[in-house]
């Protein structure tokens, strides 16, 4: 089955030019009206929108070659298998993996991290072994390790977050020591946009013989990513935050680790043989992919990555950095606003987390929605971050490839309406 090649726009060379108008034409949802206003979608850290190329690939599977994979000799099954495994090859290329078989399909980043916790960690860690994480982690990279602690008796150590949202690297050097067996660290904070010096931390962990798991849910969609350059042993991320469908996640792991790990779930396709007394396991990656997978969405994820590759991740990062600079410069003029996150913009992703004096972030979000501006309000599944900042929640605007300066202007104008609406000292 030949995968449809991707180019946005009509010019065969346009994929090397960051043509924002052409990109936006690929996202029909951006033309939608919300409460009588053109949608301004600034909730990309939660999930991204999907281009017509991804939607078309999803439809094409069901329309043209809907069949199960790995199990049929008929034409449709062979075509589905080729497209499904082709997506695995695309993901491997995108993150710099050496072998597509090191790519494990899961449902999302959360499942990928839990897979490591339930297989590698339970097979290799004992009571007293230490796992180092940080205070800026998403709950998905905290709770599985707390559950492991309660079941196995491992010890959790936390790299503190400084007031500006960066990690205390001096403390990290003290915490990562001879008892450290795993460093589980985010590539980028979803709550504050902090870009973590993963390679530096990984070097500290490897010097102690520890394994490194990177939560790339926020980083991989926005930054050039190379698993070897960052020093990862495992990398987890999700399709839906990078133009792909929901329900597809990735776990990359070094082959020698994956081969030594026990299966995560039992069932079809993850076995070589089954008798009533005994079963043997399939090769990696199939050992970890029990049952019929999410075929259509996985294939469409390959198309999403091709879209990003056509733009170039350096260009994606540059575009978001420009939007971040513009947004931070404009937001400081909103009366009563507090901005959270690193002062050094070079280590920030396209995330602006903020509060307004005397106004709950949920109220900010509701008023902004009345002007067609979609943001996120809450603790962002990062309650330790909020506790460290001594606040219950923040409002969060997050950018992606299709956002514009005009949309940031719309955000700021709507924020001024929030100020006027709630009155008080800001009116």
Containing structural domain, residue 212:
58-309
- Look at the chain and report how many structural domains it folds into: 2
* 101 among known catalytic residues: no
Helix H, strand E, coil C: the string for 144-205 is HHHHHHHHHCCEEEEECECCCCCECHHHHHHHCCCCEEEEEEECECCCCCEECCHHHHHHHH
Q: For residues 108 and 249, state if they share a domain.
A: yes
**Which pLDDT score, from 0 to 100, does residue 44 have?**
98
User: What is the pLDDT averaged over residues 346-370?
Assistant: 97
- Average pLDDT over the chain, rounded to an integer: 94
- pLDDT tens track for 93-108: 999 999 999 999 999 9
The CATH number of the domain holding residue 278 is 3.40.640.10
Q: For residues 262 and 411, state if they share a domain.
A: no
pLDDT of residue 20 exceeding 60: yes
Q: For residues 183 and 237, state if they share a domain.
A: yes
Q: For residues 41 and 107, state if they share a domain.
A: no
**Which pLDDT score, from 0 to 100, does residue 5 have?**
40
pLDDT of residue 427 exceeding 90: no
User: What is the pLDDT averaged over residues 315-333?
Assistant: 97
pLDDT of residue 7 exceeding 80: no
**Which pLDDT score, from 0 to 100, does residue 33 have?**
97
Of 143, 255, 381, 386, which one is the catalytic site residue? 381
Q: For residues 289 and 381, state if they share a domain.
A: no
**Which pLDDT score, from 0 to 100, does residue 16 have?**
54
**Which pLDDT score, from 0 to 100, does residue 325 have?**
98
Distances (CA, A) of 181 to 51, 79, 130: 41, 43, 6
Q: For residues 111 and 30, state if they share a domain.
A: no
For residue 99, is it left (φ>0), alpha (ψ between -120 and 50) or beta? beta
pLDDT of residue 128 exceeding 90: yes
User: What is the pLDDT averaged over residues 235-245?
Assistant: 98
Q: In whole angstroms, what is the distance from residue 382 CA to residue 31 CA? A: 32
Q: For residues 406 and 268, state if they share a domain.
A: no
pLDDT of residue 13 exceeding 70: no
Task: Grade residue 9 by pLDDT with cuts at 50, 70 and 90.
Answer: very low
On whether residue 282 sits in a domain, the answer given is yes
Q: For residues 212 and 340, state if they share a domain.
A: no
On whether residue 31 sits in a domain, the answer given is yes
On whether residue 9 sits in a domain, the answer given is no
On whether residue 201 sits in a domain, the answer given is yes
Q: For residues 32 and 92, state if they share a domain.
A: no
- pLDDT tens track for 209-226: 999 999 999 999 999 999
pLDDT of residue 6 exceeding 60: no
The CATH number of the domain holding residue 329 is 3.90.1150.10
User: What is the pLDDT averaged over residues 379-408?
Assistant: 97
- pLDDT tens track for 179-197: 999 999 999 999 999 999 9
Domain boundary (267, 286, 309) is at: 309
- pLDDT tens track for 244-278: 999 999 999 999 999 999 998 888 787 788 788 88
Q: In whole angstroms, what is the distance from residue 35 CA to residue 23 CA? A: 24
Helix axes 405-422, 361-370, angle to 10 degrees: 120
Domain boundary (309, 325, 356) is at: 309
pTM score of the predicted model: 0.94
On whether residue 13 sits in a domain, the answer given is no
On whether residue 52 sits in a domain, the answer given is no
Q: For residues 94 and 25, state if they share a domain.
A: no
Q: Which has the higher per-residue pLDDT, 367 or 279?
A: 367
On whether residue 2 sits in a domain, the answer given is no
Q: For residues 43 and 94, state if they share a domain.
A: no
On whether residue 138 sits in a domain, the answer given is yes
Domain boundary (274, 309, 344) is at: 309
Q: For residues 78 and 216, state if they share a domain.
A: yes
User: What is the pLDDT averaged over residues 352-360?
Assistant: 96
Task: Grade residue 72 by pLDDT with cuts at 50, 70 and 90.
Answer: confident
């Amino acid at each position: 089955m030949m995968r449809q090649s991707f180019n946005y726009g009509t010019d065969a060379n346009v994929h090397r030019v960051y043509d924002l108008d052409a990109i936006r034409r690929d996202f029909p949802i951006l033309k939608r009206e919300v409460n009588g206003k053109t949608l301004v979608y600034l909730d990309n850290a939660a999930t991204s929108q999907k281009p017509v190329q991804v939607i078309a690939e999803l439809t094409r599977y069901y329309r043209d070659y809907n069949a199960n994979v790995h199990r049929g000799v008929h034409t449709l099954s062979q075509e589905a298998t080729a497209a499904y495994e082709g997506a695995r090859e695309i993901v491997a290329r995108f993150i710099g993996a050496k072998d597509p078989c090191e790519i494990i399909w899961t449902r999302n980043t959360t499942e990928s991290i839990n897979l490591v916790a339930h297989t590698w960690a339970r097979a290799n860690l004992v009571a007293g072994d230490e796992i180092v994480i940080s205070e800026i982690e998403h709950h998905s990279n905290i709770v599985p390790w707390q559950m492991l602690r309660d079941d196995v008796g491992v010890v959790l150590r936390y790299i503190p977050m400084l007031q500006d949202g960066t990690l205390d690297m001096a403390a990290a050097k003290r915490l990562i020591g001879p008892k450290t067996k795993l460093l589980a660290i985010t590539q980028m904070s979803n709550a504050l946009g902090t870009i973590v010096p993963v390679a530096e931390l990984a070097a500290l962990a490897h010097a102690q013989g520890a394994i490194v798991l990177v939560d790339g849910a926020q980083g991989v969609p926005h930054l050039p990513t190379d698993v070897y350059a960052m020093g990862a042993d495992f990398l987890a991320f999700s399709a839906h935050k990078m133009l792909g469908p929901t329900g597809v996640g990735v776990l990359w792991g070094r082959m020698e680790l994956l081969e030594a790990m026990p299966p995560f779930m039992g069932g079809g396709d993850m076995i070589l043989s089954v008798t009533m007394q005994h079963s043997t396991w399939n090769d990696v990656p199939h050992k970890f992919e029990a049952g019929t997978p999410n075929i259509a969405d996985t294939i469409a994820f390959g198309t999403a990555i091709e879209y990003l590759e056509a733009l170039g991740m350096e260009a994606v990062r540059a575009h978001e950095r420009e939007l971040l600079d513009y947004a931070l410069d404009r937001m400081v003029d909103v009366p009563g606003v507090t901005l959270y996150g690193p002062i050094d913009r070079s280590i920030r992703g396209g995330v602006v987390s903020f509060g307004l004096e005397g106004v709950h972030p949920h109220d900010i979000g509701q008023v902004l929605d009345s002007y067609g501006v979609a943001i996120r309000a809450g603790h962002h599944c990062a309650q330790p971050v909020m506790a460290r900042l001594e606040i219950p929640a923040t409002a969060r605007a997050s950018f992606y490839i299709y956002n514009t300066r005009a949309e940031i202007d719309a955000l700021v104008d709507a924020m001024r309406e929030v100020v006027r609406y709630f009155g008080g000292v800001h009116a």
